[in-house]
């Protein structure tokens, strides 16, 4: 029974992909010139590479990965602060982190290396796990490495407000949560990347609502489509984008209505507003973007690791030769980096884009070496972009 159900589901997904790719090809042919679309979500990056979507796109259509991988956009200074905290000798520290963060290199090593030197680093799946751990380990300071976009921020907010409600004194968060819209706007304002449309992230949209992207359409006249994560959703979104370019329409379309409402998840937004205020934060390689971050409010300062441990502003520096910043902003593809695949590999990552499984470099390294010609490797380079 369930095998048949799976089979039928697979066939209908496949049919949907084929129809969308057909529409995309037709629109691409009419448009004629190169079209460049950008997704800003690590899960889109992964899904596109895993399904081989790139190898099926028309030769004049390119899908770039923008600043959507939460690990990749975390400033190196924030990683350094975490490692500093993990290795503190004055009191017993436990750092809770999502799995991807553990191997991201800071200036002197990564959390993984700190762990091998005796630091207590735990991989968690939910921010609330960190609060529970703090309750179980009252003699230790438990710090949550809170990174990510509006998708993980409500979880951090819930953990902080839960810790306050329960009176957990040994829990805090080092928050470097980011807002996706200001980064998208900053990319367009800088004018360095020529784009034909955005594939907007389904998860962020589920929280923030699809009206979030209205300013992009209004200010920059850029077509936007909110897309789900399976390959048929992504193919459909690309077809919609290409058709808008063909018809000269500049609209915001929600192609993920089963999950995304116009105003999003109000409860999650209230929770975030309660704990976080909008502030300026630094992005890896993009520098400080005004209003692009979420800062823990003064009312919750007890749970702010930066306040609690009087952490200063760390220095930021990029590893020599690493062009992750350009990769994140779609201005370069990984193979243009001299380190890619030689000095920088998933086993020995130099830049964050190689560490995270959602990072463009790792996705390229893992999935993208077959069918590169059809994937339009030439089209992906900056020639048509910068």
Partner 1 sequence: MIRSAAMETGNRGEGKIVADHTQRIVLAHGGGGQLTDELIERRVLPRLGNNVLNELLDSAILRNIPACDLAMTIDGYVVQPWKFPGGDIGRLSVSGTVNDLAVSGAEPLGLALSFILAEGFAGKDLDEIVNSIAQTAAEAGVKIITGDTKVVGRGQADGIYIVTSGVGRVRRDAKVGPSRVKPGQKLIVNGAVGEHGLAVMLTREMPEVTSVLRTDAAPLNKLIAKVLDAVGTGVTFMRDPTRGGLAGLCSDLAKQSAQRVTLNEVAIPIRSESRHAAEMLGLDPLEIANEGKVVMAVEAEVADRVMEILRNDPLGVAASVIGEIGTEADGRCEILTEIGGRRVLQKPYGEQLPRIC
Name the site residues for partner 1 (rule: CB under 8 A). Answer: 2, 6, 10, 13-14, 17, 42-43, 46, 49-56, 70-71, 98-103, 123, 125, 147-148, 151-152, 203, 231-232, 235, 346-347, 356-358, 365-371
Angle at 85 between CA 79 and CA 87, to 5 degrees: 105
How far, in Å, are 133, 202, 255, 323, 367 from residue 157 at the CA level? 17, 20, 28, 33, 35
Using DSSP's 3-state secondary structure scheme, residue 12 falls into: helix
Q: Report in angstroms how near the CB of residue 144 gets to partner 1 at its nearest.
A: 13
Using DSSP's 3-state secondary structure scheme, residue 222 falls into: coil
Q: Report in angstroms how near the CB of residue 191 gets to partner 1 at its nearest.
A: 30
Q: Which is nearer to partner 1, 267 or 366 (CB)?
A: 366
Q: Which is nearer to partner 1, 13 or 140 (CB)?
A: 13
Q: Which is nearer to partner 1, 94 or 151 (CB)?
A: 151
25 and 60 Cβ atoms separated by less than 8 Å: no
Report how far residue 205's alpha carbon sits from residue 209's, in angstroms, rounded to the nearest whole number: 5
Report how far residue 225's alpha carbon sits from residue 234's, in angstroms, rounded to the nearest whole number: 10
Q: Report in angstroms how near the CB of residue 70 gets to partner 1 at its nearest.
A: 5
Q: Report in angstroms how near the CB of residue 55 gets to partner 1 at its nearest.
A: 5
226 and 256 Cβ atoms separated by less than 8 Å: yes
Angle at 353 between CA 347 and CA 13, to 5 degrees: 100
Q: Which is nearer to partner 1, 53 or 241 (CB)?
A: 53
Q: Report in angstroms how near the CB of residue 190 gets to partner 1 at its nearest.
A: 26
Q: Which is nearer to partner 1, 230 or 318 (CB)?
A: 230
Q: Report in angstroms how near the CB of residue 347 gets to partner 1 at its nearest.
A: 6
Q: Which is nearer to partner 1, 188 or 240 (CB)?
A: 240
């Amino acid at each position: 029974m369930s095998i048949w159900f799976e089979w039928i589901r697979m066939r209908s997904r496949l049919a949907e992909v084929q129809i969308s790719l057909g529409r995309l090809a037709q629109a691409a042919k009419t448009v004629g010139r190169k079209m460049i679309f950008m997704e800003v979500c690590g899960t889109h990056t992964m899904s596109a590479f895993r399904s081989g979507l790139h190898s099926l796109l028309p030769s004049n259509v390119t899908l770039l990965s923008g600043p959507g991988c939460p690990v990749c956009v975390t400033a190196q200074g924030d990683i350094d602060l975490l490692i500093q905290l993990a290795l503190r000798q004055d009191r017993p520290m436990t750092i809770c982190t999502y799995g991807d963060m553990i191997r991201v290199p800071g200036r002197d090593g990564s959390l993984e290396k700190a762990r091998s030197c005796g630091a207590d680093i735990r991989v968690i799946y939910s921010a609330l796990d960190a609060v529970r751990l703090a309750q179980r380990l009252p003699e230790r300071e438990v710090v949550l490495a809170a990174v990510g976009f509006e998708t993980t921020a409500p979880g951090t907010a819930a953990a902080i407000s839960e810790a306050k409600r329960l009176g957990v004194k040994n829990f805090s968060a080092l928050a470097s949560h980011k807002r996706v819209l200001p980064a998208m706007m900053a990319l367009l304002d800088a004018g360095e990347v020529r784009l034909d449309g955005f594939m907007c992230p389904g998860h962020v949209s589920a929280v923030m609502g699809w009206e979030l992207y209205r300013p992009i359409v209004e200010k920059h006249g850029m077509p936007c489509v909110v897309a789900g994560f399976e390959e048929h959703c992504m193919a459909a979104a690309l077809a919609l984008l290409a058709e808008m370019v063909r018809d000269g329409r500049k609209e915001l379309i929600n192609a993920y209505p089963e999950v995304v409402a116009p105003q999003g998840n109000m409860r999650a937004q209230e929770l975030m507003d309660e704990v976080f205020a909008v502030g300026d934060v630094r992005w890896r390689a993009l520098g400080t973007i005004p209003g692009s971050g979420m800062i823990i409010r003064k009312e919750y300062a007890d749970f702010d690791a930066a306040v609690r441990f009087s952490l200063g502003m760390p220095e930021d520096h990029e590893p020599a030769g690493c062009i992750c910043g350009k990769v994140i902003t779609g201005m370069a593809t990984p193979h243009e980096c001299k380190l890619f695949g030689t000095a920088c590999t998933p086993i020995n990552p130099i830049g964050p884009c190689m560490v995270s499984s959602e990072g463009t470099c790792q996705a390229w390294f893992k999935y993208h070496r077959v069918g590169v010609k059809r994937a339009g490797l030439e089209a992906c380079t900056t020639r048509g972009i910068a």
